[in-house]
Amino acid sequence: MSDVKKVVLAYSGGLDTSVILKWLQETYHCEVVTFTADIGQGEEVEPARAKAEAMGIKEIYIEDLREEFARDYVYPMFRANALYEGEYRLGTSIARPLIAKRLVEIAKATGADAISHGATGKGNDQVRFELGAYALMPDVKIIAPWREWDLLSREKLMKYAEEHGIPVDFAKQSKKSPYSMDANLLHISYEGDLLEDPWSEPEEEGMWRWTVSPEKAPDQPTYVELTFEQGDIVAIDGQPMSPATVMEHLNKVGGANGIGRDDLVENRYVGMKSRGCYETPAGAIMLKAHRAMESLTLDREAMHLKDELMPRYAKLIYNGYWWSPERKMLQVAIDESQKVVNGVVRMKLYKGNVIIAGRKSETDSLFDEKIATFEDDAGAYDQKDAGGFIKLNALRLRIGAKRGR
């Protein structure tokens, strides 16, 4: 432990990371640098500065990373239509590579030889943080307190904080939600408490933060038009917006219409199954709209190949391999496919439903009305050609049938 001179801690200012800060000072006798990121969690991050200063911290980093998060992580991921196990929109997973990158960059800038995080030894986040850090700084030392200490309950953490004079708002902590939550621009997640029973229905009033229930959503639908350029949403209702602004707007309008609630049981990378609930209003709208835009502009086989690659791509992100060679290679292929994904999608948002109300592309649509029509196509498509096409494709089936296969 004595070989650690300085450590960069991913610090929120809450109970867990405040205890970790003090524990690092006492256990490793090292200098601590704190890093607090605003990635759209909806809470003030600046108060973390005063808390860190009260604990004697000299080097404090507080950064607004919302645009970088949306532009360089969420948008590239959604070009792939990424869903883990067919449902999870990877809200927590995609934030970890950015935090790991900044931890390493700050470590290099401050001369630190270690980084630390507050992820537990049971979850995925420890893997994501550490794989990212090792990929970017191979010789970095990583301190994961939850794998070292015996403060394995909320009560023990509170007692440690009291005994060591750690500035934690105990009144606020006592009123804290019983759920373990993580929030950013893409989602807010809930785990623990009654959700540990997969049969229990989530409580309607005491848990959800961003969305109204579909039953209480407006009786009139809301329409939005999303403009795509090379697979990315660049404007809403004709108004140009930055990636983070797009997501903030869609979270607001989607949440007001009861959109984006998910209740999932997923397979963690460490081997256990975990039940979690998620609110992803912007994510639900963006993914549905993106697929609609691709349906009009992407070649059939390019689209199908993307769909085959997507589960592997999503699994890489979920398991923490954002910085891996294989994810980067897949990203190049995905981004190449998006050059033609340009146009506008009209969305109808109604009581928890995301409905495609129209799509158009003036420059890249592959939809040919003259060929697709059920009316007279004036010779644009010779229907007689289909007979030979079918017989050739049926040849192996006919031969097999004659052999009794």
Active site residues: 16, 96, 125, 180
Contact 67, 39 (CB under 8 A): no
Dihedral of alpha carbons 96, 251, 308, 291, sign: negative
Contact 84, 266 (CB under 8 A): yes
Query: What one-letter code names the amino acid at 219?
Result: D
Distance CA 175, CA 172 (A): 5
Closest by CA position to 151, among listed 245, 15, 275? 15
Residue 242's contacts (CB-CB under 8 Å, 6 or more residues apart) are 67, 70, 71
Residue 254's contacts (CB-CB under 8 Å, 6 or more residues apart) are 211, 260, 281, 282, 284, 285, 349, 354
Query: What one-letter code names the amino acid at 364?
Result: D
Contact 200, 194 (CB under 8 A): yes
